[in-house]
Amino acid sequence: LRQGEVYRIRIDVTGKADDLVIADLLPAGLEVENPRLKGRDGERSAALGIAQVERRDDRLLLFGSVRDKGFYEYLCRAVTAGK
């Protein structure tokens, strides 16, 4: 990954759950982009009932529900160079 580049992450979910928690841990060198800070429309979701999103430096936490299948997409940035 190239330092400074923005990448789109997609999480696909299948099944049924009312109290769903997804913790997407990012490897070292990547940070979650906060779309509210930069005015970007970087997050997309379909068929997931997302009640809350928590963005941390090293992970994204999603809280909600799913009825059949759906997805959630967000942006992250490579902040340090690596191999």
Model pLDDT for residues 26-52, shown as the tens digit of each residue: 998 999 887 776 655 667 777 788 889
Q: Looking at residue 48, what is its pLDDT? A: 80
With 0-12 CB in 10 A as exposed, 13-18 as middle and 19+ as buried, what is 33?
buried
The answer to whether 28 and 77 are in contact (CB under 8 A) is: no
Q: Looking at residue 40, what is its pLDDT? A: 58
74 vs 55: CA distance, rounded Å? 10
64 vs 11: CA distance, rounded Å? 14
Q: Would you give the DSSP letter of residue 64?
A: E
49 vs 58: CA distance, rounded Å? 23
Q: Looking at residue 68, what is its pLDDT? A: 86
